Amino acid sequence: MRPIFYGAAAIVLAVLLLAACNSNDFKSSANANAGAPPTGLGTQTPSDGVPRITVTELKEKVDKGTAFIVDTRGPEAYAVEHIAGSVNMPENTIASRVNELPRDKMIVAYCS
Protein backbone atom coordinates (compact mmCIF):
# COMPACT_ATOMS: atom_id res chain seq x y z
CA MET A 1 0.00 0.00 0.00
CA ARG A 2 2.84 2.40 0.79
CA PRO A 3 4.46 2.15 -2.67
CA ILE A 4 1.12 3.02 -4.26
CA PHE A 5 0.74 6.04 -1.95
CA TYR A 6 4.30 7.22 -2.61
CA GLY A 7 3.90 6.72 -6.35
CA ALA A 8 0.66 8.70 -6.42
CA ALA A 9 2.19 11.44 -4.26
CA ALA A 10 5.22 11.63 -6.56
CA ILE A 11 3.04 11.97 -9.65
CA VAL A 12 0.95 14.73 -8.08
CA LEU A 13 4.08 16.58 -6.91
CA ALA A 14 5.68 16.25 -10.35
CA VAL A 15 2.59 17.67 -12.05
CA LEU A 16 2.49 20.57 -9.59
CA LEU A 17 6.17 21.27 -10.12
CA LEU A 18 5.78 21.28 -13.88
CA ALA A 19 2.84 23.64 -13.65
CA ALA A 20 4.65 25.95 -11.24
CA CYS A 21 7.83 26.05 -13.28
CA ASN A 22 6.02 26.78 -16.53
CA SER A 23 3.53 29.40 -15.40
CA ASN A 24 4.02 33.13 -15.12
CA ASP A 25 0.37 34.01 -15.60
CA PHE A 26 -1.05 35.57 -12.45
CA LYS A 27 -4.41 37.17 -11.90
CA SER A 28 -4.30 39.29 -8.79
CA SER A 29 -7.45 41.00 -7.67
CA ALA A 30 -5.50 43.39 -5.45
CA ASN A 31 -2.87 44.31 -8.04
CA ALA A 32 -4.58 43.72 -11.38
CA ASN A 33 -4.32 47.32 -12.55
CA ALA A 34 -1.37 48.44 -10.46
CA GLY A 35 1.27 46.70 -12.59
CA ALA A 36 2.85 45.35 -9.41
CA PRO A 37 3.53 41.68 -8.77
CA PRO A 38 1.26 39.83 -6.34
CA THR A 39 2.27 40.52 -2.74
CA GLY A 40 0.69 37.81 -0.62
CA LEU A 41 -0.69 34.31 -0.84
CA GLY A 42 -4.21 35.59 -0.22
CA THR A 43 -4.09 37.94 -3.21
CA GLN A 44 -2.66 35.49 -5.74
CA THR A 45 -4.86 33.49 -8.05
CA PRO A 46 -2.56 31.85 -10.59
CA SER A 47 -4.35 30.64 -13.69
CA ASP A 48 -2.91 27.13 -13.25
CA GLY A 49 -4.28 26.80 -9.70
CA VAL A 50 -0.89 26.06 -8.12
CA PRO A 51 -0.46 28.03 -4.86
CA ARG A 52 2.49 30.39 -4.54
CA ILE A 53 4.05 32.08 -1.53
CA THR A 54 6.22 35.16 -1.33
CA VAL A 55 9.88 35.15 -0.33
CA THR A 56 8.90 36.77 2.97
CA GLU A 57 6.32 34.06 3.67
CA LEU A 58 8.85 31.37 2.80
CA LYS A 59 11.47 32.86 5.12
CA GLU A 60 8.96 32.96 7.97
CA LYS A 61 8.06 29.31 7.41
CA VAL A 62 11.71 28.23 7.16
CA ASP A 63 12.56 30.15 10.33
CA LYS A 64 9.69 28.40 12.12
CA GLY A 65 10.79 25.03 10.73
CA THR A 66 7.49 24.46 8.93
CA ALA A 67 8.78 24.52 5.33
CA PHE A 68 11.01 22.18 3.31
CA ILE A 69 12.61 23.71 0.21
CA VAL A 70 13.21 21.58 -2.88
CA ASP A 71 15.37 22.91 -5.73
CA THR A 72 14.17 21.06 -8.82
CA ARG A 73 16.96 22.24 -11.14
CA GLY A 74 19.82 20.05 -12.23
CA PRO A 75 22.88 19.53 -10.02
CA GLU A 76 25.00 21.91 -12.10
CA ALA A 77 22.67 24.86 -11.53
CA TYR A 78 22.28 23.91 -7.85
CA ALA A 79 26.06 23.87 -7.41
CA VAL A 80 26.39 27.40 -8.81
CA GLU A 81 23.73 28.92 -6.55
CA HIS A 82 20.79 27.81 -4.43
CA ILE A 83 18.66 28.79 -1.45
CA ALA A 84 20.48 27.97 1.78
CA GLY A 85 19.01 24.84 3.33
CA SER A 86 17.32 23.68 0.13
CA VAL A 87 17.61 20.10 -1.08
CA ASN A 88 18.50 19.42 -4.70
CA MET A 89 15.95 17.04 -6.15
CA PRO A 90 15.86 17.39 -9.94
CA GLU A 91 12.39 17.05 -11.39
CA ASN A 92 13.15 13.67 -13.00
CA THR A 93 14.25 12.16 -9.65
CA ILE A 94 11.29 13.12 -7.50
CA ALA A 95 9.34 9.90 -8.03
CA SER A 96 12.27 7.79 -6.83
CA ARG A 97 13.04 10.11 -3.90
CA VAL A 98 9.53 10.87 -2.64
CA ASN A 99 10.30 9.13 0.67
CA GLU A 100 12.80 11.94 1.41
CA LEU A 101 10.00 14.51 1.55
CA PRO A 102 8.67 15.30 5.03
CA ARG A 103 5.02 14.71 5.76
CA ASP A 104 4.77 17.35 8.47
CA LYS A 105 6.05 20.41 6.56
CA MET A 106 4.98 22.55 3.64
CA ILE A 107 7.03 21.47 0.63
CA VAL A 108 8.11 24.47 -1.42
CA ALA A 109 9.63 23.70 -4.82
CA TYR A 110 11.46 26.16 -7.02
CA CYS A 111 13.12 25.88 -10.38
CA SER A 112 14.73 29.24 -11.13
Q: Residue 78 is part of a domain; what is its CATH number?
A: 3.40.250
Does the reported pTM lie above 0.85?
A: no
Distance separating alpha carbons of residues 15 and 8, to the nearest angstrom: 11
Range of the domain at 81: 2-110
Q: pLDDT per residue over 59-109, tens digit each?
A: 999 999 999 999 999 999 999 999 999 999 999 999 999 999 999 999 999
Query: What's the confidence (pLDDT) of residue 41?
Result: 45
Q: What is the count of structural domains for the chain?
A: 1
Distance separating alpha carbons of residues 20 and 91, to the nearest angstrom: 12
Query: What's the confidence (pLDDT) of residue 14?
Result: 56
